[in-house]
Structure formats: C-alpha cells, structure tokens
Amino acid sequence: MSHKRLILIISLLLPIAVSGLYFMPKFSLNTVDFLPLFNACVNACVFLILIFALVAIKKGKRQLHMKLMYSALILSVIFLISYVLHHATHDTVSYGGEGLIRYLYYFILITHIVLAIAIVPMVLISFSRALNEEFSRHKRIARITMPLWLYVSLTGVIVYLMISPYYPF
C-alpha cells in the first residue's frame, strides 16, 4: 500500500473513530483517572521536542532533527492511545467557567480540535516526504505543519489546565 493511500485511510478513519467515542457507552475503569494529566504531560513534551527539533534543523543538525521528530511522532501516538482509553472509560466533562473565560476556553478547545484533525495528514505527509528524501517538498509542508503541530500540542495543555478543576476525580 502506498504512503498516500495509508495517509488518506488514517486521516479519514481516525477522526471518525475518535468522534465515535463520545457516543458509545463507557466501561468502568477508575484506574485510568490519571490519563488527562498524563495526556497534558505528553502534549507538553511533544511541544518541547518540536521546539528542539525546529532549532536543530535551523542549525543544520539533520540527524538530531530526525530523532526528535520520531520522538514527537511516537509520543503523539502514545497520546492518542491514552486519549482513546480515557474517553472510552469516562464521560465528557463540562467546563464550569463563566463569562469571558468561558468563551476563551471554547475558542481554544474548538481550534484545538479542528487543527488536531487537520494536523494528522499533514504530519504523515511531512514524515512520508522526509522518509522518501523529498526534502524540498518536505520543507514546504513542514513550514505549515510545524506551527500547527506546536499550536495543537500547546493548546492541549492549556485545555487540560482550564478543564482540570471540573474533573470529578
């Protein structure tokens, strides 16, 4: 199967599967109550790794950049698995803030969700082009992908910090 077909399948099925979590019945597993904090920590690590990877490539350290990007991708997969497990076992938590902060929270949350969906094919295309040593094409999409991935990882932490006081556990 070609990279393009695999990227398309993952990019289409992933948001469908994740959105299905909100409609399926939850199974009880209280031992995973730590996952929202874990996910925020993973997002923070991804953000920092992406910053280091950006600095590395700007300094011409291609091997370091590559290792850091692999690390960011692996952590993002770990995040996704953890996110799915959490949302398969817990109901959605409503944000309890009021006034202007409530609007800010929902703006951050909505842009985070939309860009998290959009970033999947962009990350996969960026990786595919790098693996195929199509560096000029990789660079073109990476210039868009990197800031979006940074935004998604950072806003994941911000969303957690804003919603965490409302968790029942």
| Token pair of 18 as six digits | 């994740």
Which residues does 162 contact at the CB level (< 8 Å), separation at least 6? 95, 97, 101, 105, 108
CA distance 47 to 6: 26
Which residues does 33 contact at the CB level (< 8 Å), separation at least 6? 90, 169
Give the tens place of pLDDT for each residue, 79-132. 999 999 998 888 889 999 999 999 999 999 999 999 999 999 999 999 999 999
pTM of the model: 0.90
Q: Give the chain's mean pLDDT.
A: 93
Give the tens place of pLDDT for each residue, 51-87. 999 999 999 999 999 999 999 999 999 999 999 999 8
Tell whether the model's pLDDT for residue 1 goes beyond 70: no
Place of tokens 């600095």: 55
Query: How many CB atoms sit inside 10 A of residue 88's CB?
Result: 15
**Burial per residue of 9-34, b for 16 or more beta-carbon CB atoms within 10 angstroms, e otherwise:** eebeebeeebeebeeeeeeeeeeeee
Q: Which domains does the chain have, with CATH numbers?
A: 33-166 (1.20.120.80)
CA distance 125 to 3: 8
| Token pair of 163 as six digits | 């919603």
